[in-house]
Amino acid sequence: MLAVDPTHSFARAGWLLRAARPSDLSAVSALLASCSLPTEGVAEQFGESYAVAEHAGEIVGVAGVERYGPHGLLRSVAVAPQWRLAGVGSALVRDRLQWSEEAGVQSIFLLTTDAARYFHRYGFRVVARDVAPAALHASREFSEICPASARLMRLEEDAALRDAVREKYAKAARDAAHGDSSCCGGGCECSNPVTGGLYDAAQVAEIPEQALRASLGCGNPTLLAELREGETVLDLGSGGGIDVLLSARRVGASGFAYGIDMTDEMLALARENQRKAGIANVEFRKGEIESLPFAEASVDVIISNCVINLSGDKPRVLAEAFRVLKPGGRFAVSDVVVRREIPASIRRDAELWAGCVAGALEEWKYREFLQSAGFTDIEVVPTRIYSADDMREIGVRDSLLDGALMSAFIRATKPAKEAVRHA
């Protein structure tokens, strides 16, 4: 279905879906009020971002998307009682989602007190309120109009994949907390070809054993990132916290290390590891790497260890990394990278996705996405190349993958201020 435009309308069974006109505002406000939805602020953005359903000249349904910078807020989804269960609400929501895509809206949120289950079917998922981008946070809808009890939902095209990833790492965190290593850095016997033997003896001595046990990375970004005293570091997908704790030691008391992770169990583990390590210049925040809860230009170095491959929206992750880095800031991550085409059947496998295999980017794509985000000085340095035997050890039995995947260190720079301004 095409998003409606002001010159076209689409006839349905007895009703019409069309773009809203300024003259619809009072009827729309009356409909919202009759459905106990807020009318405050609707007039401010009423126009082409709203669609209405009309029957016999009467407005029987409405939905709108308010714009906050590159983000959208779906609001005012209302259908007159006698038109419920007739597909009106569904048509309006789908139409507005398509309109948003065509209008270049990057991410779509909504606030709801009682309709989370309804919106779940369109791919919206409840997220922590602090995940909302700053522009949305500052909106009247967010800060005044909707009650603080309203739940924030975000449209997730890859909701199933994200759920698989979250479940896998929640279990890994629980296992690590109970002393079962999913694998480890270098402090215990570990032969996993991806996660084993990443940290040297000096680093192992610096952090609690439990942090090592929880290590699920595929490299050692703290060694390669050349961290300096006083710097602010942000680790994307910090897991049990190993790289955050090591970074905090590197940047010293005048620096600070943040970790961000979406999995509650991992955050609890990381905070416990911080407590055991007795390191103060660290904070673990809940959030998603596609929408970082950090201000623009607030971080010197972004590190990450085997996480970006797990995201269903890598360009957005890299754009977010670019946004929060200070001019001249460094991006220095370890990740799994594809060296040549891998079968589509593997790409579709959610379990392999959650295991860092199916979601990995080809090297050329990684470079292209980094460049599109604005980064320069891009380098991709292989650190381990995986044979069919290595793959078998991590449970992937597909000889086509022999040599197809590698762990790599990926480095890039956000240009210094002058270069950004004149770009």
Ligand X SMILES: C[S@@+](CC[C@H](N)C(=O)[O-])C[C@H]1O[C@@H](n2cnc3c(N)ncnc32)[C@H](O)[C@@H]1O
Residue 48 vs 349, nearer CB to ligand X? 349
Residue 313: CB minimum distance to ligand X, A: 8
Question: Exposure pattern of 238-256 as b/e (b: 16+ CB <10 Å)?
Answer: bbbbbbbbbbbbbbeeebb
Closer to ligand X by CB, 282 or 356: give it: 356
For residues 100 and 311, which CB has a smaller minimum distance to ligand X in the complex? Answer: 311
Min CB(190)–ligand X separation in Å: 13
Query: Do 178 and 171 form a contact (C-beta atoms < 8 A)?
Result: no
Q: Which of 63, 29, 30, 32 is nearest to 49 (CA)?
A: 63
CB of 394 to ligand X, least distance (A): 12
Nearest CB to ligand X, comparing residues 29 and 291 = 291
Number of helical (H) and strand (E) elements in the chain, helices listed first: 18, 16
Mark 82-121 with x for binding to ligand X (rule: CB under 6 A) and - for no binding.
Answer: ----------------------------------------
Q: Does 217 bind ligand X (CB under 6 A)?
A: yes
**Per CB under 6 A, 415 contacts ligand X:** no
The DSSP call for residue 360 is P
Calculate ∠ Cα 45-50-53, nearest 5°. Answer: 145
Q: How far apart are CA 268 and CA 48, in angstroms?
A: 45
Strand order in the sheet with 9-11: 9-11, 16-19, 50-55, 58-68, 71-79, 107-112, 151-155, 124-127
Contact status: 247 vs ligand X (CB under 6 A): no
User: Restricting to residues 134-163, which ones interact with ligand X according to CB under 6 A?
Assistant: none
Contact 371, 363 (CB under 8 A): no
Closest residue to ligand X using C-beta atoms? 239
- Whichever of 78 and 337 has its CB closer to ligand X, that residue is 337
CB-based contacts of 124: which residues, under 8 Å, 6+ apart? 110, 116, 153, 154, 155, 156
CA 356 to CA 358: how far, in whole Å?
6
Question: Considering beta carbons, is residue 357 or 380 the nearer one to ligand X?
Answer: 357
Closer to ligand X at the Cβ: 61 or 237?
237
**Interacting residues with ligand X between 324 and 363 (CB under 6 A):** 356
**In 10 A of CB 391, how many CB atoms?**
22
Q: How far is the CB of 172 from ligand X (least distance, A)?
A: 7
Q: Is 237 in the site for ligand X (CB under 6 A)?
A: yes
Tokens of 158: 């890859």
Residue number, 45 or 238, with CB nearest to ligand X: 238
Q: Cβ closer to ligand X: 35 or 170?
A: 170
The binder of ligand X chosen from 17, 88, 176, 242 (CB under 6 A): 242
C-alpha dihedral over 291, 295, 301, 303, to 10 degrees? -20
Q: Which residue has the tokens 């979601």?
A: 359
Size of the site for ligand X (CB under 6 A): 24
* Minimum CB distance to ligand X smaller for 167 or for 363: 167
Among 225, 262, 391, 412, binds ligand X (CB under 6 A): 262
How many angstroms separate the CA atoms of 282 and 275, rounded? 10
- Distance between CA atoms of residues 413 and 423, nearest Å: 14
- Cα–Cα dist 120/159, whole Å: 10
* Beta carbon of residue 16, minimum distance to ligand X (angstroms, whole number): 40
Check binding of 239 to ligand X (CB under 6 A).
Answer: yes
Pattern of binders to ligand X over 288-317, x per CB under 6 A? xxx--------------xxx--xx------
CB of 146 to ligand X, least distance (A): 25
Q: Does 208 bind ligand X (CB under 6 A)?
A: no
Give how far Cα 158 sits from Cα of 81, 150, 302, 313, 317, Å.
32, 23, 24, 8, 14
Angle made by CA atoms 138, 141, 83, in degrees to the nearest 5: 155
Q: Minimum Å distance from CB 256 to ligand X?
A: 18
**Does 386 help bind ligand X (rule: CB under 6 A)?**
no
For residue 85, give every residue at least 6 positions away whose Cβ sits within 8 Å of its Cβ, in sequence order, or none.
none
- The reply to whether 234 sits near ligand X by the rule CB under 6 A is no
- Closest to ligand X by CB, 19 or 308: 308
Residue 367 CB, shortest distance to ligand X, in Å, is 21
Min. distance of Cβ 304 from ligand X in angstroms? 7
Cβ pair 357, 375 in contact under 8 A? no
CB of 261 to ligand X, least distance (A): 5
Chain positions contacting ligand X, by CB under 6 A: 165, 169, 215-217, 237-240, 242-243, 261-263, 266, 288-290, 305-307, 310-311, 356
